[in-house]
Structure 1
Amino acid sequence: MNTVFYLILGSFVLWILFKQFAPLKGLRSLTPEQFQREAKGNQVIDVREVHEYNRGHIKGAVNFPLSQLQQYIDDIPKDRTVLLYCQSGMRSKQAAKLFVRKGYSNVAELRGGIITWKGQMQK
């Protein structure tokens, strides 16, 4: 009985981990150099919390915290390229899932988050 329970529990944990870290269909993961090139003329969104954004953000980025993204997502045209970033890449991937579910077809995220960024920042 215990063995079956642990097998089911282990399978469930593996499934959750897979869903969390598996590549997202339709999401491009960009290097900082690629992100910087594509940022020109496209919608750049910082999904970190306001206090993180205020400490410094990529020039031209708007702040829609992941915790509040549902409130803003319908204001962003679906025909625009959406570039997302956060601190390390985890929250931007969650935000990307939301954009893809809402029908956005051109979504990209900064691989490794802002900690990999070497471009211009502003406060």
Structure 2
Amino acid sequence: MILQKISVWGIIDVVLLVILLAIVGNQLYLWQKGRRVAKIVENDEFQKGMHRGQLIDLREKDSFNAGHIMGARNVPFGQFRVMKNSIRKDMPVYLYDQGKSLSTRIAIKLHKDGYKDIYILKSGFERWNGRVKKSK
């Protein structure tokens, strides 16, 4: 009986380890792929270039309304497929979300669809130090 319990816990440990490795592997893949399809930039460089392109906030509407980068347009991650056609291919695209993971995923999708000039805010809105606007 004790041997059976040990083997069950051993199997659970192996399964959890495999799941953890899969999550880490996926994050590394996204990080590497994101660096190939988009330029990940700090606040200063993002702020300098965002005025010559399309500034897209990928957070949900409630987060956007609570505060967003001045001049940003809200294209929530969950509605991206429907709203993607409103993003022009002939202009640079500046993406941000709370961190950077959603922006990386969207940058990969945009690149597959032929977008070439894509920028991601490195630390996301969470650490943005520029002007912010709150919606009503």
Match of 1:83 in 2: 94
SS at match of 2:52: coil
Match of 2:28 in 1: 18
Are 1:103 and 2:114 matched, yes or no?
Answer: yes
Structure with more helix by fraction = 2
Scaled by the length of structure 2, the TM-score of the pair is 0.78
SS at match of 1:29: strand
Q: Distance in 2 between matches of 1:115 and 1:44?
A: 16
Q: Is the 8 A contact 2:37 2:108 kept in 1?
A: no
Q: Distance in 2 between matches of 1:17 and 1:90?
A: 9
Q: Distance in 2 between matches of 1:15 and 1:34?
A: 29
| Gap regions ≥5 residues in structure 1 | 1-5
How far off its partner does 1:59 sit? 0.3
Q: Distance in 2 between matches of 1:32 and 1:77?
A: 23
What amino acid is the match of 1:70? R
SS at match of 2:107: helix
Q: Distance in 2 between matches of 1:40 and 1:17?
A: 30
Cα RMSD, aligned residues only: 2.2
What amino acid is the match of 2:125? I
Are 1:56 and 2:67 matched, yes or no?
Answer: yes
| Gap regions ≥5 residues in structure 2 | 1-13
Count of residue pairs brought into register by the alignment: 119
Are 1:73 and 2:89 matched, yes or no?
Answer: no
Scaled by the length of structure 1, the TM-score of the pair is 0.85
Larger Rg: 2
Q: Is the 8 A contact 2:30 2:104 kept in 1?
A: no
